[in-house]
């Protein structure tokens, strides 16, 4: 029997693209149905096509034909459009990375409601005036996303010796080793990787280049204990951890770590990161 029905749902539009036939397809993030692709019909001046733009949140009204696996967006009632965020290039870039991460990870392995809540918090934060640096908001979002998926490394203990990182790192620096999928304390780092560690966080041999399309496994990321403490605060407090972070706190070492973990979760390069 053909299943045909209309339904409405809370939704955030993540992206819109053109089909081979020229029709527009919108990807929506919903709390219960997850990611939903729906056709959006209408000409260039269509109010519906204008409303169904990326990073618009509200109530979506859809028609679904279950037998044909076909969905059509029939109306969209806008609640929030994040207009200030849209006018800032870096904020728009950060939002695009978030959207790609959500799509590539299938909303963090099916955590639809949690992901929707988290990305809305990030967009609202970037829509404020003043707002934290978008790169910092993006790092906090991706760290929470990686945690939802279950790929967050142990931030308390060395992956080699198992002892507390803070107690074993007098220089207040540690390394994240992709091959070990964890952090190395200073003692274990010096034993195995002293030449790389001694070059410091600015070295290309230690810090991953953000513009590289792929992260090479032999590279390792140097991170300060202060940076690790901030990531733990994000895990505990969410975006409220950004309230105590200054612009200078946005460092390439934190971005390198979080961006690598995000690409690992997505099982490949996030094109928005290098676009």
69-94, pLDDT tens digit by residue? 789 999 999 999 999 999 999 999 99
**Could you tell me which residues come within 8 angstroms of residue 144 by beta carbon, excluding any fewer than 6 positions away?**
118, 234, 235, 238
Give bridge partners of residue 38 from the DSSP assignment: 26
Domain 87-275 belongs to what architecture? Up-down Bundle (1.20)
Over residues 21-78, the pLDDT tens digits come to 778 899 999 999 999 999 998 776 788 988 889 999 999 999 998 777 789 999 999 9
Helix axis angle, 89-104 relative to 134-149, nearest 10°? Answer: 10
Helix, strand or coil, per DSSP, at residue 246? coil
How many alpha carbons fall within 13 Å on the CB side of residue 216?
A: 10
Residues of the chain with CATH 2.40.50.140: 4-80
Joined tokens for residue 34: 């997850």
Q: What is the mean pLDDT of the chain?
A: 86
Q: What pLDDT is attached to residue 120?
A: 98
Q: How far apart are CA 265 and CA 165, in angstroms?
A: 24
Q: How far apart are CA 113 and CA 102, in angstroms?
A: 12
Tokens 């010796």, residue? Answer: 161
Q: Is the pLDDT of residue 1 over 50?
A: no
Closest CA to 254 of 154, 137, 164: 137
Domain 4-80 belongs to what architecture? Beta Barrel (2.40)
pTM, two decimals, is 0.87
Closest CA to 255 of 217, 197, 195, 211: 211
Q: What pLDDT is attached to residue 21?
A: 74
Q: Is the pLDDT of residue 3 over 80?
A: no
Q: What pLDDT is attached to residue 246?
A: 58
Residues of the chain with CATH 1.20.1440.120: 87-275
* Contact (Cβ atoms closer than 8 angstroms) between residue 64 and residue 70: yes
């Amino acid at each position: 029997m053909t299943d045909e029905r209309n339904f409405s749902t809370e939704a955030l539009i993540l992206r819109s693209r053109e089909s081979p036939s020229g029709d527009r397809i919108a990807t929506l993030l919903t709390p219960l149905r997850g990611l939903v692709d729906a056709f959006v019909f209408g000409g260039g001046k269509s109010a519906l096509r204008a409303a169904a733009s990326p990073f618009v949140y509200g109530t979506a009204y859809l028609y679904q034909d279950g037998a044909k696996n076909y969905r059509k967006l029939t109306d969209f009632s806008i609640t929030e459009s994040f207009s200030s965020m849209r006018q800032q290039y870096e904020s728009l870039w950060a939002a695009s990375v978030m959207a790609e991460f959500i799509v590539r990870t299938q909303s963090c392995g099916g955590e639809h409601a949690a992901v929707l809540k988290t990305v809305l918090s990030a967009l609202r934060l970037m829509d404020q005036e003043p707002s934290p640096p978008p790169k910092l908001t993006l790092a906090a979002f991706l760290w929470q996303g990686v945690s939802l998926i279950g790929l967050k490394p142990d931030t308390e203990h060395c992956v080699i010796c198992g002892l507390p990182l803070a107690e074993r790192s007098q220089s207040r620096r540690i390394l994240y080793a992709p091959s070990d999928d964890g952090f190395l304390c200073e003692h274990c780092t010096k034993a195995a990787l002293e030449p790389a560690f001694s070059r410091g966080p600015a070295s290309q041999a230690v810090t991953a280049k953000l513009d590289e399309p792929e992260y090479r496994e032999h590279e390792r990321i140097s991170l300060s204990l202060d940076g690790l403490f901030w990531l733990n605060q994000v895990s505990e407090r969410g975006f409220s951890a950004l309230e105590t972070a200054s612009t200078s706190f946005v460092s390439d070492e934190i971005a390198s770590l979080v961006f690598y973990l995000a690409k690992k979760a997505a099982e490949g390069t996030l094109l928005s990161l290098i676009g």
